[in-house]
A and B are shown apart, each in its own frame.
Chain A
Amino acid sequence: DQQVKQNSPSLSVQEGRISILNCDYTNSMFDYFLWYKKYPAEGPTFLISISSIKDKNEDGRFTVFLNKSAKHLSLHIVPSQPGDSAVYFCAASANYKLSFGAGTTVTVRA
Chain B
Amino acid sequence: NAGVTQTPKFQVLKTGQSMTLQCAQDMNHEYMSWYRQDPGMGLRLIHYSVGAGITDQGEVPNGYNVSRSTTEDFPLRLLSAAPSQTSVYFCASSYSSVNTGELFFGEGSRLTVL
A residues sitting closer than 8 Å to B (CB atoms) are 2, 4, 6, 9, 32, 34, 41-46, 49, 89, 91-93, 96-103
B102 touches A49 (CB 8 A): yes
* Given known A43-B4, A43-B90, contact A99–B45 (CB-CB < 8 A): yes
Q: Can you report 6 A-B residue pairs in the complex whose CB atoms are below 8 A from each other?
A: A32-B101, A93-B99, A96-B56, A98-B101, A100-B42, A103-B42
Q: Closest 7 A-B residue pairs measured CB to CB?
A: A43-B105, A93-B101, A100-B42, A100-B43, A102-B42, A96-B99, A34-B101
The chain A residue sitting closest to B3, CB to CB, is: A43
* B6 and chain A: residue at smallest CB distance: A43
B42 touches A43 (CB 8 A): no
Shortest beta-carbon distance from A2 to chain B in Å: 8
Question: Interface residues of B toward A: which range?
Answer: 20 to 34
Across the interface, which residues of A come within 8 angstroms of B77, CB to CB? none
B27 sits at the interface (CB 8 A):
no
Q: List residues of chain B with CB within 8 A of the CB of A103.
A: 42
- Residues of A near B35 (CB, < 8 A) are 100
Whether B40 is near chain A, meaning CB under 8 Å from some CB there, is yes
Contacts of B102 in A (CB 8 A): 34, 46, 49
Interface residues as binary, B37-68 with A (CB distance below 8 Å gives 1, 0 otherwise):
00011111100101000001011000000000
The answer to whether A96 and B43 touch across the interface, beta carbons within 8 angstroms, is no
Structural contact, A96 and B103, CB atoms closer than 8 A: no
Closest Cβ–Cβ distance, residue B105 to chain A (whole Å) = 3
Are A43 and B58 neighbours in the complex by a CB distance under 8 Å?
no
* Residue among A46, A89, A98, A99 with max Cβ neighbours from chain B (10 Å): A98
CB distance from B27 to the nearest CB of A (A): 14
Query: Which of B40, B90, B104, B105 contacts A102 (CB under 8 A)?
Result: B40
